[in-house]
Chain A
Amino acid sequence: MKQVLHIFAKDSRRFWPEILISLAITAAFTWTYPGQWMHSSSSYGFNAVAGGAFYVLRAMVAATFLVLVPVSWWLLITRVIHAESLVGDRQFWLTRPYDWRNLFAAKVLFLLVYVGLPLFASQSLLLLLAGFHPLSWLGGLLFNLLLVAGILIIPLFALASVTSNFARMTLTLLGTLIALLAFALLASYISRGSASTPYEDRISLPLLVCFCVAAIVVQYAARQTWLSRLLLIAFPALLVVIGLITPSDTALIRRAYPRPSGPQDQIVQISFNSDSQRLASASAEPKAKNVLLNLPLRVSGVADGYAVTPNDVMVSIEAPNGAHWISPWQAIYAQNYLAGSQDSYVAVSISRAFYDQVRSLPVTLHLTFALTQTHAGKVTRVAMPAHRFSVPEFGVCTPEMAWDRSGFTGISCLAALRRPRLTYVSVLWSNDQPSDSSGPPDPNTSVQGAGWAGNLASDPAAFGITSVWNIPLAISNNINRADQGQPWQPRYLWPGTPLTFTQYNLVRRAQADLSIPAFTLPAYNRMRGHVSVAVIPHAVGR
């Protein structure tokens, strides 16, 4: 232990400029990041344009520091590991009585003190500033520190331990980043669909940590540089092998979302809404290989107290001439079905060549949905105050003031360490500006609004340099479009208006089918940089 502290003290003395730079950047990040939490330009108390510009500037500065924090770690880690370089045969320490365990422990201690502790302090302070008590989130804070260590610190440590100087480390890091980018591009090129499966990747990070730690220990214990480098190269190779032997998205979705055993087992009924004002439409980029087909749907049959989230969809098309095409699974974003009948839509991507081939024929569309059923759990009702308020197990929310300070036109929320559990937020909008006396708005002029936030993940924290997450809360019906010819008016949340936060918990996953016979595919509009959807006057359905 004495030797550990001795080496640590030497490194602290030698690298005080790098330590100071890293601490200053972390402090600057902690100071500027809360600027991102201010959503309304009028929060600054001066005119909207200047306020907006100031907000953007602060957000840019905060984003810059967010990037600079890991960059400063890269500098610090590289310098301190290379102080007793493990590569080469001329280093003075090789023939001094260094115990490799002590040297390794000294470096780990250095990183704990000058990377881990400042990050912990920064994250705790951000939590405090956002309205969360850090001690209540200690588990999540430590879990996030582990994630940061596994994703950033340990890999940087491993790269530094197999390189001999700063230039080589930098080149290796750049090479690694380029290889990662190329790998991601290749993976997205090979993957045909965009399916999201409920199976989280629980292998890659532990493997990354194991391989990096093995490489580091081999270097410190035996200075077998090539063996350590091989270990680091073996990790992505192993990931590729795992990727090759992992079942396809189709198989994973089939496993995660079982088909209903009968009509009574269905968690939702989905039908084609041929009466919808928003009729089927299609669009395509000029050189795109796919056409995006939008289909209006009618959703019903969700049991009271339940919600159903469509996660993926797969479409197959059969033409009367025998032509047949089947899509890969495609992700569906930001949709949730509640009890009762409701209109919805689904957008599916279809091969342009096939689309053109069967465009004039009445085809049969068969859609299969991968769905997640959730059940309403804890409900929190809040009479909205005019200032920041806390919603247990969700986050800290702030009413957003309109730019002209005419009233609150939305809510912005912050969550600690991760997105909150899947939550349904309902509000009561008023068409009128709030009166002087606070309280719930007049029910006769009120409109219900709702939105979803969060996810079903169960980890205590998600990876982040910051410990506070901005939670976008898009609440429906926030604009009053009632008067034809009049400019749209915002709706208001009065102080005292009831807000309901309903947490939803996973029940099960299942598939649902929808067949649309004799469907004529609409002509698609060619998009040029922006989306313009052609509305097709006739779509034969059901």
Chain B
Amino acid sequence: MSHAIHTDGLAKTYGKTHALSSLSLSVPEGAIYALVGANGAGKTTLIKLLMNIIRPTTGHASILGVGSHALGGRHFERIGYVSENQELPEWMTVAFMLDYLRPFYPQWDRVLERQLIRQFDLPLSRKLKQLSRGMRMKAAFASALAYRPSLIVLDEPFSGLDPLVRDELIEGLLDRAPETTIFLSSHDLAEIESFASHVGFLEQGRLLFSEEMSVLSARFREITLTLDAPAALPSPTPSHWLQPEISGSVIRFVDSNFQEEATSAELARLFPAVRDISLEPLSLRSIFLAIARTDRSTSETAQADHQRTSA
């Protein structure tokens, strides 16, 4: 499978701050890839590196087969980029912006442009600076979709928008999905859960995982075991058990490597006196919380160990 985006050991540091640490990911063509993570996780840095707006400290990225360091000029005829903090030419009216941008793109589709104007209900004669945040975002979307780009890169596109505008934008985006690859960042898990095909989770500059949504959902389960009598957690606890906790005779954890038969066998082996097993699928939000908390707890433990060793 060919990839619209591929990175290999991509890193960005600002002085002693590691904004992005040796990140390797691949976004298959045709995917709707959602990069999620808290504010400050490094999502915008990654996107700016991919778009050659800033340069990596180390590592390499390729976009539509072009090295990100060489990305520029005509390559952007195939890439649509919209960012929440992009400085638009606010002195232009919506119509002037579309008229101005049109000659830059040989594949600009006038029919699609008119369709997007109607769909987003864009006020053509108004200047961008006079538009609401939502309307500005719609104008930016229209100007980035009208030339049918092969790759659409969106940095927090729905941040701070009301649900109606958000739905309109998602609808406009999904209309284009069959013919393009979409890579978007968000810190709002709920908004991307419904349509993303792939997901990556960025935490403090590190990519904790990157995979297909269906695979991710399938391998995470919250497992609750009710035992006949109080028991202890097995030692060592399996590494794929996240946030294990015990309360009397009830053990609860998130299994990050759930496979029905293998998991059942493992539980039967570790807890022969189990009275009841409850398996609950997790929402995307719960998966991320489990991973993030485990990661933070592991980091803190490692840090404490390091300090003890140093002392």
Residues of A within 8 A of B (CB): 2-3, 6, 10, 14, 88-92, 94-100
Instruction: Name which of A3, A10, A96 has the most chain B CB atoms within 10 A of its CB.
Output: A96
Distance in angstroms between the alpha carbons of A14 and B93 in the assembled complex: 11
Main SS at interface, chain B: mixed
Any A CB within 8 A of the CB of B105: yes
Q: Please, which residues of chain A bring their CB within 8 A of the CB of B17? A: none
Query: What are the residues of chain A within 8 A of B77 when measuring CB–CB?
Result: 97
Q: Which of A2, A3, A95, A97 contacts B53 (CB 8 A)?
A: A95
> B100 touching A89 by the CB < 8 A rule?
no
Q: B154 → chain A, closest Cβ, in Å?
A: 11
Smallest CB–CB gap between B61 and chain A, Å? 15
- Between A and B, 5 residue pairs with Cβ closer than 8 Å are A89-B54, A92-B86, A95-B51, A99-B74, A100-B73
The answer to whether residues A96 and B89 also contact, given A89-B48, A89-B53, A89-B54 and a CB cut-off of 8 A, is no
The distance from the CB of B57 to the nearest CB of chain A, in whole angstroms, is: 15
Q: Is the pair A96, B48 in contact by a Cβ cutoff of 8 Å?
A: no
Residues of B within 8 A of A91 (CB): 86-87
Q: A89-B54, A100-B73 are in contact. Are A95 and B103 (CB under 8 A)?
A: no
What's the least CB distance linking B194 to chain A, in Å?
27
Asked, given contacts A95-B76, A97-B77, A100-B73, whether A90 binds B103 with beta carbons under 8 Å apart, the answer is: no
Q: How far is the CA of A97 from the CA of B100 in the complex (A)?
A: 12
In the complex, how many angstroms separate the beta carbon of A51 from the nearest chain B beta carbon? 49
A residues less than 8 Å from B235 (CB atoms): none
Query: B51: which A residues are within 8 A, CB to CB?
Result: 94-95
Q: How far is the CA of A100 from the CA of B83 in the complex (A)?
A: 22
Distance in Å from the Cβ of A226 to the closest Cβ of chain B? Answer: 12
Interface residues in B178-216 by Cβ distance below 8 A to A read none
Assuming A90-B83, A91-B86, A99-B72, what are 16 further A-B pairs, CB within 8 angstroms?
A: A2-B103, A3-B103, A3-B104, A6-B100, A6-B104, A10-B100, A89-B48, A90-B87, A91-B87, A94-B51, A94-B53, A95-B76, A95-B79, A97-B75, A98-B76, A100-B73
With A89-B48, A89-B53, A89-B54 as given contacts, are A96 and B104 in contact (CB-CB < 8 Å)?
yes
Scoring A2, A6, A89, A99 by chain B CB atoms within 10 A of each residue's CB, the highest score goes to: A89
Contacting residues, chain A, for B104 (C-beta < 8 A): 3, 6, 96-98
The bracket for how many chain B residues form the interface is 20 to 34
In the bound assembly, the distance between CA atoms of A116 and B101 in angstroms comes to 28
Distance of A224 from chain B, by nearest CB (Å):
9
For B51, B76, B105, the residue with the greatest tally of chain A CB atoms inside 10 Å of its CB is B76
A14 to B85: give the CA distance in the assembly, Å: 23
Identity of the chain A residue whose Cβ is nearest the Cβ of B144 in the assembled complex: A95
In contact, A6 and B103 (Cβ under 8 angstroms):
yes
Residue from B51, B72, B74, B77 with most neighbouring chain A CB atoms (10 Å): B72
1/0 contact string of B233-260 vs chain A (CB within 8 Å): 0000000000000000000000000000
Query: Quick one: which of B36-89 are within 8 Å of A by CB?
Result: 48, 51, 53-54, 72-77, 79, 81, 83, 85-89
- Does B86 lie within 8 Å of A90, measured CB to CB? yes
A447 to B53 CA separation, bound complex (whole angstroms): 78
In angstroms, how far is the closest chain A Cβ from the Cβ of B128?
Answer: 10
Q: Is the beta-carbon distance between A96 and B76 smaller than 8 angstroms?
A: yes
Closest Cβ–Cβ distance, residue B153 to chain A (whole Å): 8
CA distance A148 to B51 in the complex (A): 38
Residues of B within 8 A of A94 (CB): 51, 53
By a CB distance below 8 angstroms, the chain B residues around A2 are: 103
Quick check: A99 and B73 within 8 Å, CB to CB? yes
Q: Give the distance in Å from the alpha carbon of A269 to the alpha carbon of B74 in the complex.
A: 75
Shortest beta-carbon distance from A2 to chain B in Å = 7
Give the distance in Å from the alpha carbon of A96 to the alpha carbon of B143 in the complex: 10
Q: Which residue of B lies closest to A6 (CB)?
A: B103
Which residues of B (15-52) have their CB < 8 Å from a CB of A? 48, 51
Question: Is there contact, CB below 8 Å, between A14 and B103?
Answer: no
Within 8 A of A (CB), among B92-126: 100-101, 103-105
Docked Cα-Cα span, A7 to B100, in Å, equals 9
Q: Which residues of A contact B81 (CB under 8 A)?
A: 95
B101 contact set on A, CB distance < 8 A:
96
Task: Report if A97-B86 is in contact (Cβ < 8 Å); known contacts: A2-B103, A3-B103.
Answer: no
B54 to chain A: closest residue by CB: A89
Cα distance A382–B103 in the bound complex, in angstroms: 64
Give the complex CA separation of A94 and B52 in angstroms.
9
Which residues does chain A contribute within 8 Å of B54, judged by CB atoms? 89
Which residue in chain B gives the minimum CB-CB distance to A15?
B91
A3, A6, A14, A99: the one within 8 Å of B91 (CB): A14
Least CB distance from B70 to A in Å reads 11
| Residues of chain A lying within 8 A (CB to CB) of residue B103 | 2-3, 6
Kindly identify which residue among A6, A92, A98 contacts B88, using a CB–CB cutoff of 8 Å.
A92
For B97, the closest partner residue in chain A by CB is A92
Output the nearest chain A residue to B105 by Cβ-Cβ distance: A97
Given contacts A10-B100, A90-B85, contact A97 B76 (CB under 8 A): yes
- Cβ of A90: which chain B residues have Cβ within 8 Å of it? 83, 85-87
Chain A residues in 8 Å Cβ range of B100: 6, 10
Question: Closest A-chain residue to B87, C-beta based?
Answer: A90
Q: CB-CB < 8 A to B72: which residues of A?
A: 98-100
What residues of chain A lie closer than 8 Å to B91, measured between beta carbons?
Answer: 14
Q: Give the docked Cα–Cα distance between A89 and B12 (Å).
A: 15
Q: Is the CB of A97 within 8 A of B73?
A: yes
Cα distance A98–B72 in the bound complex, in angstroms: 7
A3–B73 CA distance with the chains assembled, in angstroms = 11
**How close is A166's CB to chain B, nearest CB, in angstroms?**
14
Distance in angstroms between the alpha carbons of A99 and B72 in the assembled complex:
7
| 10 shortest interchain CB distances as A-B pairs | A95-B81, A99-B73, A97-B76, A90-B87, A89-B53, A97-B77, A97-B104, A92-B88, A95-B51, A94-B53
Q: A residues within 8 A CB of B85?
A: 90
Instruction: Chain B residues near A95: list those with CB within 8 A.
Output: 51, 53, 76, 79, 81
A10 to B81, CA, bound (A): 22
Rounded to whole Å, the gap between the CB of B255 and the closest CB of chain A is 41
B121 CB → nearest A CB, Å: 22
The CA of A99 and the CA of B76, in the complex, are separated in Å by: 10
